[in-house]
Structure 1
């Protein structure tokens, strides 16, 4: 078996102390740039792999970040993940990915495993079920373990941490106004598969747009309906000429209802706030909007690494981005 290269081996080859080599590999400001360069080149040449367990025992950062995604079926989340991976790779951080599949229990398991794996912090977009259950103790406990926590896309006022999100209420308001400007007089909104915070923001944006316009109130909460009052009945009864929908799968189902027409006897215009997967986006007439997945991912990763490296003030930071419509 090939012998593993140690810090001492690198130190002896460069006639340096093991302490100097360790500091150089961790980019300590105590070490000159020339020495850092020599050490990094020697480590790469000898294929040196840091002993993470030993670093943990010594109280060092592991330079590993956990990421919990609710799904990878949406282009938004794949864009965010690609951006996170790019940023962490550029700064030599390891990435450990978990998928919650929108399940609260799976999310709790993912977070616990990441904490046990001694990651320096966790970037997460919580599952819809987590918000439905209103249970966040597994997330607040991350900080109890002295781990950094960054929420993106889906954020909660119940958790005091760094957050990145889209200006959802403004995004909805702008879309309603755009549809009205394009001649649509009955713009509806169907809310489904949303956490409470996102629901309230969408509702605020919608009513901000329709006030004083004379347009009827066509805001429909699909999650709160029972019996025969489904989104299909809502569309057939109210006959909107345009619809804004939150969920890509629901948007596709609505598009498939070819019998549905507006009062103008035209197909209903469907706009989806969330990006579907690439196949969905290319094979339908739905207008999918971007919530800046790449930008949210980039900021999340940079914010996490800066937090881990102690480059930020202790107070949590929050970024609210404009939609890329």
Structure 2
């Protein structure tokens, strides 16, 4: 039986109007409630009903949102992570504005070869792929099997396909220059222990910006940590002793928030004892004290651009693949 809006409302323990507000990106509900509703929508694969046959005929139609889960960043609970919730919300809102609907299909990476053909058979109005964890080989497979496809949150310059992602290199350079402008030279780097294209771009951008200023991160100031774990257990800053850097850049906000929590637990003051900066500007960055200085990623603009490129493919047989890097911005708060 096809899910109704009332079913989603019952699952989330909210009203139907709250579900409508969440779907359309409108104010009137808390951010926690919005993320809860969107998480259930993504998990259940709910598709909003269109109001009339005319809407279906004139709109973009049913767009498939393909999520390939892995043991990396995009795991089965990916919709609980704020950045992905923001992206899903922006995609849902913009598809609705185009008089279409968004259908979510989730496949485990190990089953991709077996199930990609079924996605091709049932996707008639284009596919948006969450490519965060995808390897070059997986992207090539999807691009060969699917017609009218745009990859989000990843980028491979050597593949002739449509990509939309944040400019990770530019964002990390922005972060490095800001840290340097605050007078820091003893700088540490908390890197993801799961290497994906996004983190690789951030790593290169940060390194190059420091090198231009004659500053280098020593091996004992370069650390690896989970990119999605928020709790401080297992992270003991006191073990670094006097070797703890004065400022630390984290490859994403989850790492940064975990670092601040660990510092607070060990009575290490942020930013006086150690300054911290993140990347992504997730909702939780403003819920911690001190609030997190970070790099803002424009999920809404990424969603609009991805749909623009998908429409271009649907409307023109002469569409040339387009690779879009959306610039990021600096968010100055109190952690640095």
- TM-score, with structure 1 as normaliser: 0.66
Q: What secondary structure sits across from 1:289 in the alignment? A: strand
Structure 1 residues 261 and 307: CA distance shift in structure 2, 3 A: same
Instruction: Note the 1:1-325 alignment, pairs <5 A.
Output: 48=53, 63-69=61-67, 70=74, 71-99=78-106, 104-105=109-110, 111=116, 113-128=118-133, 130-131=134-135, 135-136=137-138, 139-145=139-145, 147-157=147-157, 159-211=159-211, 213-218=213-218, 220=222, 222=224, 232=237, 235-236=240-241, 238-257=243-262, 258=264, 259=266, 261=268, 266-276=272-282, 278-279=283-284, 281-285=286-290, 286-310=292-316, 313-325=318-330
| Distance (Å, rounded) in 1 between the aligned partners of 2:277 and 2:64 | 33
Structure 1 residues 253 and 190: CA distance shift in structure 2, 3 A: same
Contact in 1 for aligned 2:168/2:199 (Cα 8 Å): no
Structure 1 residues 175 and 279: CA distance shift in structure 2, 3 A: closer
Structure 1 residues 178 and 118: CA distance shift in structure 2, 3 A: closer
Unaligned residue ranges in structure 2 (runs of 5+): 1-49, 68-73, 227-234, 331-336
Contact in 2 for aligned 1:87/1:302 (Cα 8 Å): no
| Deviations, residues 161-217 of structure 1 (Å, cap 9, x unaligned) | 111122211211121111111122222221105544334322321222222545341
Unaligned residue ranges in structure 1 (runs of 5+): 1-43, 53-60, 225-229
| Distance (Å, rounded) in 2 between the aligned partners of 1:235 and 1:82 | 40
| Deviations, residues 113-156 of structure 1 (Å, cap 9, x unaligned) | 5323233321122243x33xx541xx434444451111122223
Contact in 1 for aligned 2:56/2:100 (Cα 8 Å): no
| Distance (Å, rounded) in 2 between the aligned partners of 1:251 and 1:292 | 19
Greater gyration radius: 1
Which deviates more from structure 2 when the two are superposed, residues 61-70 or residues 195-204? 61-70
Give the aligned length: 259
| Distance (Å, rounded) in 1 between the aligned partners of 2:239 and 2:216 | 13
| Distance (Å, rounded) in 1 between the aligned partners of 2:193 and 2:309 | 28
| Deviations, residues 62-104 of structure 1 (Å, cap 9, x unaligned) | 832111354223333223222222222222222112456xx53
- TM-score, with structure 2 as normaliser: 0.64
| Distance (Å, rounded) in 2 between the aligned partners of 1:108 and 1:236 | 49
| Distance (Å, rounded) in 2 between the aligned partners of 1:284 and 1:309 | 49
Contact in 1 for aligned 2:192/2:224 (Cα 8 Å): yes
Structure 1 residues 231 and 117: CA distance shift in structure 2, 3 A: farther
Aligned match of 1:38: none
| Distance (Å, rounded) in 2 between the aligned partners of 1:73 and 1:149 | 25
Contact in 1 for aligned 2:189/2:250 (Cα 8 Å): yes
CA RMSD in angstroms comes to 3.7
| Distance (Å, rounded) in 2 between the aligned partners of 1:163 and 1:261 | 41
| Distance (Å, rounded) in 1 between the aligned partners of 2:186 and 2:153 | 29
Structure 1 residues 217 and 279: CA distance shift in structure 2, 3 A: closer
Q: What secondary structure sits across from 2:63 in the alignment? A: strand
| Distance (Å, rounded) in 2 between the aligned partners of 1:144 and 1:213 | 43
| Distance (Å, rounded) in 1 between the aligned partners of 2:268 and 2:313 | 52
| Distance (Å, rounded) in 2 between the aligned partners of 1:68 and 1:237 | 47
Which deviates more from structure 2 when the two are superposed, residues 75-84 or residues 213-222? 213-222
Contact in 2 for aligned 1:245/1:251 (Cα 8 Å): yes
